[in-house]
Amino acid sequence: MSKNSNRNTIIGSALPNLPWEERPDTCKDPVWRFSQNPIIGWNPIPSGARAYNSAVVPYGDGFVGVFRIDDKSGRAGLHFGKSDDAIRWELEDKRIDWVDESGKPNPNSYAYDPRVVLIEGTYYITWCDDLKGASIGMGYTKDFKTFVKVENPLMPFNRNGVLFPRKIGGEYVLLSRPSDSAHTPFGDIFLSHSPDLTYWGKHRHVMAAGGSGWWQGTKVGAGPIPIETTEGWLLFYHGVSNTCNGFVYSIGAALLDLEDPSKVLYRSRGYLLTPEKEYETSGFVPNVAFPCATMYDAPSGKIAIYYGAADTYSAIAFTQVDELISYIKNDSEV
């Protein structure tokens, strides 16, 4: 498949100003890194030490994002950022001030690994929140000025809450990864349904850690918002392997059934990206590649994957949807 092919595989909008770089001739892989990585380094704002595992979306003529930034006490919080090109980011020094639905302050004690999705005119944000332990936090904004925090959708312990970008069968659908209170040594991806984004049920198992590939043998967690394609929901996820030097976080992808996304149609047997570059293998937590967002240009099938590297840096990788899907299908293990 030529890189400029146009099969309209992605069901979505055009984004002609998507950051993009062609695959270098020396690279034969379906996913390749941006040559300007990392795009955000140590101490990106006066109050913050590290900005990573963050979510970005197109907004107006440019881009905005909700960034995980660890402050100089090490505590994680969420900050707003904006950019003209989705590469150079202007990050606010102050954390997002959450309010409740009546406008009263509704602070959280910590917050990390945000995802942002536009559903029917509202931007929903999910993150790992503190509900007497790690749980899924949820909020929304219409203008990236007022941020409303709503009820936690699921009980602790849980992480990696990721909403689908539209209702499926008339209901909202949320991926999550039930966990424990610390650095969980297990974890499968589940999904839950809701008629109203408040009450969640009809929980289904989606995919387990393991398989013949050791890179995802310990745990898996949903990454960016799934991308709707003619071949199914394209879900990038992180897979974790346990080594004598700790966990290693890599990136894989799966295709889920469009009508029933608890059904995995295809799943990459090998990883698509694993920590290799110094900004991935060395930092606050070495050997972590953790994707929380993608942006795409539907007509060309170009996808930019935003990932956190070594719990320190923000980085971008690229892929082309048709090539990626045929790669996954050719070496799939569900």
Rounded-to-integer distance, Cα 273 and Cα 30, Å: 9
CB 331 within 8 A of CB 324: no
225 scored as a contact of ligand BMA (CB under 6 A)? no
Stretch that binds ligand BMA, among 188-196, 225-233, 270-278, 284-292 (CB under 6 A): 284-292
Q: Which of 176, 148, 160, 301 is nearest to 230 (CA)?
A: 301
Nearest approach, Cβ of residue 162 and ligand BMA (Å) = 14
What distance in Å separates the CA atoms of residue 82 and residue 296, rounded to the nearest whole number?
A: 18
- Give the pairing of strands 147-149 and 98-99: parallel
| Interface stretch with ligand BMA, choices 58-66, 80-88, 162-170, 282-290 (CB under 6 A) | 282-290
Choice between 134 and 321, CB closer to ligand BMA: 134
Query: Which of residues 190, 233, 290, 313 is near ligand BMA by CB under 6 A?
Result: 290
Q: How far is the CB of 149 from ligand BMA (least distance, A)?
A: 19
Q: Return the DSSP state at 244.
A: T
Q: According to DSSP H, which parts of 28-101 are helical? A: none
Closest contact distance (angstroms) between CB of 279 and ligand BMA is 14
Applying CB under 6 A, the span of 36-44, 82-90, 150-158, 285-293 interacting with ligand BMA comes to 285-293
Please tell me the distance from the alpha carbon of residue 252 to that of residue 221, in angstroms, as a whole number: 10
Name the H helices within 147-303.
Answer: 278-281
Nearer to ligand BMA, 54 or 152 (CB): 54
Torsion 164-59-41-277 (CA) sign: positive
Q: Smaller CB distance to ligand BMA: residue 138 or 285?
A: 285
Q: Which of 285, 293, 316, 325 binds ligand BMA (CB under 6 A)?
A: 285
User: Pick from 311, 316, 319, 325: which binds ligand BMA (CB under 6 A)?
Assistant: 311
Which H, E and C letters describe 159-180, residue by residue?
EEEEECCCCECCEEEEEEEECC
Q: Is the peptide bond before 157 cis (omega within 30 degrees of 0)?
A: yes
Q: How far apart are CA 31 and CA 319, in angstroms?
A: 5
Shorter beta-carbon distance to ligand BMA: residue 218 or 229: 218
Place of tokens 């925090």: 149
Among 63, 83, 98, 113, binds ligand BMA (CB under 6 A): 113
Pick one of 40, 154, 225, 288: the residue that binds ligand BMA (CB under 6 A): 288
CB of 281 to ligand BMA, least distance (A): 13
Length of the chain: 334
What character string, x for contact with ligand BMA (CB under 6 A) and - otherwise, covers 241-260?
Answer: --------x-----------
Q: Name residues contacting ligand BMA, limited to 65-104 (CB under 6 A).
A: none
Residues that bind ligand BMA (CB under 6 A): 53, 112-113, 183, 249, 285, 288, 290, 308, 311
